[in-house]
A and B are shown apart, each in its own frame.
Chain A
Amino acid sequence: MLDGLTAKLGGALGLFKGQRELTDANIEEGLAAVRQALLEADVHFKVARDFVESVRTRALGAGRIQDKSVSASDQFVHAVHRELVELMGPEDAKLVFASNGPTVILMAGLQGAGKTTTCAKLAKHLVTKLGKRPLLVAADIKRPAAVEQLRVLGRQLDLPVYHEDGLEPPVLCERGLKEAIRTGRDVVILDTAGRLHVDDELMEELAAIAKRTKPHNQVLVVDAMTGQDAVRSAESFHRKLALTGVVLTKLDGDARGGAALSLKAVTGRPILFAGVGEKIDDLDAFSAERMAGRILGMGDVVGLVETAQAKIDEGEAQAQFEKMVMGTFTIEDMLAQLRMIQNLGPMKKVLGMMPGMGDALKNVDMDDKHIKRIEALCTSMTVKERLQPDLLDMSRRRRIARGAGQDVADVNALLKSYKGMKQMMKQMNKMGLGAAMGGKAKRQALAGMSPTGELSGDFGGPGLMGRLGGAAKGLGGAAKGLGSLVGLGGGGGLPEGFDPSMLGGGGGAGGSGGARRPQPARDKSKEKAKRKQKQKNRKKR
């Protein structure tokens, strides 16, 4: 599934067989492949059908790419991707703020979608990024302990939570708004009970809440794992509420998230944020670009498109660039990648499923101890050696082994792994997948190094990764490429701000490996000690 589209479209062996022109005839198979990918990603079948038609128009219509040097495959991928990104945008959609009085944000959605958690995340975002003073209103009087859940989150955030027993939700919300005015809060976030769109009574209740509080933002919270039903429920919520935006949750998993496309198609409203974990900080800005790659099950489509784009923009320069980059896959790159793959856990499995990758990875032992030993060997090398492994003759190898307290055989094994990895990179490039590692990712990778290959990172951190800073930072790009390649992490890539230089410090970055860590307690009250204990306990998770 993962490699479906990629394998079909990519390279000279793909559907378009190196043809230079897109035609009515050769586009059919490509469109069928895209439709299949969309359906597998849970895009609603009608939305998928419409989408495919739009791609056809774009690819063959007036706006088609005229440049004959761009292959049919690249033209096609470009059309698919642009269409998807445009449909999914805009990315810079913002919450609306009231010109006077408190801003009201109504959160609605199905049961278990993530509303309460998202309320807390949003509150934190508003406090830290925009200096707001939100009030949370607990208006879910259905689910047992729902009020308590929000109160616990409110305490973690040091924010007030309004609730009064015995009130119907519309009245409760209206009082909440008054409370906000009275206490000088500038945002009110209404956490409502989960409801199915077929539940008329509860849908009416939602309308009543909206009528009384006149929310500036009416946000639908949707689970990224939602299937075809996303269309039906979003339609109903939109009809009842006139939504202003959507938050997509649980994107830290491996759901392809086709619901995002369905939602956009049905409501026309922007996706405001992406939920990428259970912690209060796990809220990302939405990226249409990453979402597009994720839905197509080919994060690398971004890379492919970039390659296509680059060919259009830069022509020959791109090829030169690729060659140069391939020459700079160094031992440091390998180390950083091993760490990254190790940290992502299931990623090895996922990568292993891709044609050609399984074998390449087999030779790469990725357990902790092994990586420690590689690290030791690397520190024993000079920077120059790390960047140009060809220099490593016998005498250098002996010196390195001694320095690391290991045998020459270990150095040889390291070099063998290195060659295996390099081979793998080549293979990826051949498959067209390399584009994920190429294009932007590689440009970013290069940005971490000066043209002479000297390290230029500004990482003051101690330890090996501090020293490897430049390369590691560069690989951030590559890491993102890989992340989006397998559809892991936030919105298809790794979460924004993911910094592989953290990997050396053992920080569990990345959606898939991240431990559940508590919110930092910043409360001075007497509960502080208690919370600290809790924090300790939770760390054990």
Chain B
Amino acid sequence: MGLFDRLKQRLGKTRSAIGDGLSALFRGGRPMDEQLLDELEEMLYGSDLGPLATDLVDDLKRRFKRGELKTEDDLRATLRERLVGELGEAGEITLTAKPHVVLVVGVNGSGKTTTIAKLARRFREQGHSVLIGACDTFRAAAADQLEVWAERTGAAIVRKTEGADPAAVAFDTVDRAARENFDVVLVDTAGRLHTQTNLMAELEKIRRVIAKRLDGAPHSVLLVLDGTNGQNAIAQAKLFTASVEVTGLAVTKLDGTARGGAVFAIRREIGLPVQYIGTGERAELLEAFEPGAFADAILSSAGSSETAR
């Protein structure tokens, strides 16, 4: 079952009551006009697209004036094409080395640890051996949380006591993976806000230490974004990329009604591709990102937002 189906299933109730967002706009045989497009703009804002919503709709308005847009279907097709175009192609993480080291970073509570569990499960299913590094030595019981996941997914784990130097844990992890010939290394890090310079410096150190132990590592740096976040996700992407050269995104918590529309701006401004989507708390609820399905989810969610107040 794909992302869109899952989302549709999850949102079944809301959806059937209101209908697909775009259809709702055209309800009662309403013809397309500027005002309808203004309402569409607001709906797109509702998916956290931010100022890009205005851009997109301005373009739609131009096309409308030129007579290129007449029906709901025209609008749907054009918008979908634009959205998909913005997202570009992306692929999952492909293993380019052995061990292939993936450094996982993000703000507090975005879903890093859970995403690591999901990735571990995925790589294990593909028959790879996985070693996880528990470099969150700060948050209470963070390593315990990760250890439970390692057990459940059949991955090995390197952990130290709470308060240990995270860079040292990273080093030991990569060191062991290299010596014991693991296929994949997943490095979990403590959540940190991108504005905290000292903690970002700590992350850079982790990266340096990994590179020092293994040439070319980390091979992937995955930024985990909370899909319910709004425009702040853009700042997160910018500063984490500036600090540790992020190579791809995972967007979590899309099993709710949030759509993570900030990724459009992130793709446009920083060029970062979305690689994975998290759709639940269990380890199997990770999807490879598909631009088409993502765009469909945005289109269908537009308008399903209930009234404020």
B256 x A196 contact (CB < 8 A): yes
Chain B residue at smallest Cβ distance from A112: B109
Closest to B112 in A: A112
Q: Which chain B positions have C-beta within 8 A of A198?
A: 10-11, 14, 255-257
Flag if A534 contacts B256 (CB, 8 Å).
no
Pick the contact of B109 from A50, A114, A533, A538 — CB < 8 Å?
Answer: A114
Choose from B45, B111, B199 the contact partner of A228 (Cβ within 8 Å).
B45
Q: Contacts A44-B308, A227-B258; is A253 near B202 (CB within 8 Å)?
A: no
| Shortest distance between the CB of B95 and any CB in chain A (Å) | 26
A135-189 interface (Cβ within 8 A of B): 142-146, 148-153, 156
A513 within 8 A of B: yes
Contacts of A41 in B (CB 8 A): 231
**Bound-complex Cα distance A228 to B193 (A):** 20
Query: Quick check: A253 and B232 within 8 Å, CB to CB?
Result: yes
Distance A39 CA – B255 CA, assembled complex (angstroms): 24
Q: Restricting to B50-93, which residues have a CB under 8 Å from any CB of A?
A: 50-51
Q: Which residue of B lies closest to A116 (CB)?
A: B140
- Tell me if B235 counts as interface (CB < 8 A to partner A): yes
Q: Is B36's beta carbon under 8 Å from chain A?
A: no
B226 within 8 A of A: yes
Which A residues from 27 to 75 make CB contacts under 8 A with B?
39-42, 44-47, 49-50
A contact residues around B235 at 8 Å (CB): 254
A110 at the interface (CB under 8 A from B): yes
Q: Is the CB of B257 within 8 A of A152?
A: no
Across the interface, do A196 and B255 meet the contact criterion of CB distance under 8 Å?
A: yes
Q: A148-B144, A534-B161 are in contact. Are A266 and B308 (CB under 8 A)?
A: yes
Query: Which of A39, A144, A231, A535 is within 8 Å of B308, CB to CB?
Result: A231
A253 to chain B, nearest CB (A): 4
Indicate whether B99 reaches chain A with its CB closer than 8 angstroms.
no
> Among B46, B145, B194, B226, which residue has its beta carbon within 8 angstroms of that of A253?
B194
The answer to whether B220 has its CB under 8 Å from any CB of chain A is: no
Q: Which of B108, B137, B195, B228 contacts A226 (CB 8 A)?
A: B228
What is the bound-complex CA distance between A33 and B149, given in angstroms? Answer: 48
Residues of B within 8 A of A484 (CB): none
Q: For residue A49, which residues in chain B have a CB less than 8 angstroms away from its CB? A: 42
Contacting A at CB under 8 A, from B135-157, are 137-142, 144-145, 147-149
Interface 9-mer from B22-30, B162-170, B268-276? B162-170
Q: Which residues of B contact A266 (CB under 8 A)?
A: 308-309
Are B199 and A516 interface neighbours, CB within 8 A? Answer: yes
CA distance A314 to B46 in the complex (A): 43
Q: Is A262 an interface residue (CB 8 A)?
A: yes
Chain A residues near B226: list those with CB within 8 A.
Answer: 112, 223, 225
Q: Is A540 an interface residue (CB 8 A)?
A: yes
Q: Does A443 contact B (CB under 8 A)?
A: no
CB–CB A40/B51 < 8 A: yes
Q: CA A156 – CA B46 in complex, angstroms? A: 41
Q: Looking across the interface, which residue of chain B has its beta carbon closest to that of A113?
A: B109
Chain A nearest CB from B304 CB (Å) reads 9
Judge whether B253 is part of the interface by a CB distance below 8 angstroms.
yes
Residue of A196, A508, A512, A513 ringed by the most chain B CB atoms within 10 A:
A196
Q: Are A111 and B309 in contact (CB under 8 A)?
A: no
Cβ of A355 within 8 Å of any chain B Cβ, yes or no, is: no
Contacts of A512 in B (CB 8 A): 195-197
B299 to chain A minimum Cβ distance, whole angstroms, is 15
- B202 to chain A: which residues have CB within 8 Å? 541
- Chain A residues near B194 (CB, 8 Å)? 253-254
Residues of A within 8 A of B105 (CB): none
Do A250 and B108 touch across chains, with their CB atoms under 8 A apart? yes
Closest to B166 in A: A541
Residues of A within 8 A of B257 (CB): 197-198, 229, 232-233
B48 / chain A contacts, CB cutoff of 8 Å? 42, 227-229
Identify which of residues 193-213 in chain B touch chain A, using a CB-to-CB cut-off of 8 Å. Answer: 193-199, 202
Given the complex of chains A and B, what is the CA–CA distance between A346 and B14 in angstroms?
43
Cβ of B228 and Cβ of A223 under 8 Å apart?
yes
> Are B196 and A110 in contact, CB atoms less than 8 angstroms apart?
no
Nearest residue, chain B, Cβ from A514? B196
B195-A44 in contact (CB<8A)? no
Query: Which A residue's beta carbon lies closest to that of B255?
Result: A196
- A selection of 20 A-B contacts at a CB cut-off of 8 Å is A40-B50, A46-B42, A150-B140, A151-B141, A152-B162, A156-B140, A196-B253, A198-B256, A223-B109, A231-B306, A233-B228, A233-B257, A255-B232, A278-B108, A278-B139, A345-B197, A512-B195, A541-B138, A541-B166, A541-B202
| 15 extra A-B contacts, CB within 8 A, seeds A146-B145, A346-B197 | A39-B50, A41-B231, A112-B108, A144-B145, A145-B141, A196-B253, A228-B45, A229-B256, A231-B308, A250-B109, A253-B196, A265-B309, A512-B196, A512-B197, A513-B196
Q: CB within 8 Å of B: which residues of A?
A: 39-42, 44-47, 49-50, 110-114, 116, 142-146, 148-153, 156, 196-198, 223, 225-233, 235, 250, 252-256, 258-259, 262, 265-266, 278, 345-346, 488, 508, 511-516, 518, 533-538, 540-541
Interface residues of B (CB under 8 A from A): 10-11, 14, 42, 45-48, 50-51, 107-111, 137-142, 144-145, 147-149, 161-166, 193-199, 202, 226, 228-233, 235, 253, 255-258, 261-262, 281, 305-309
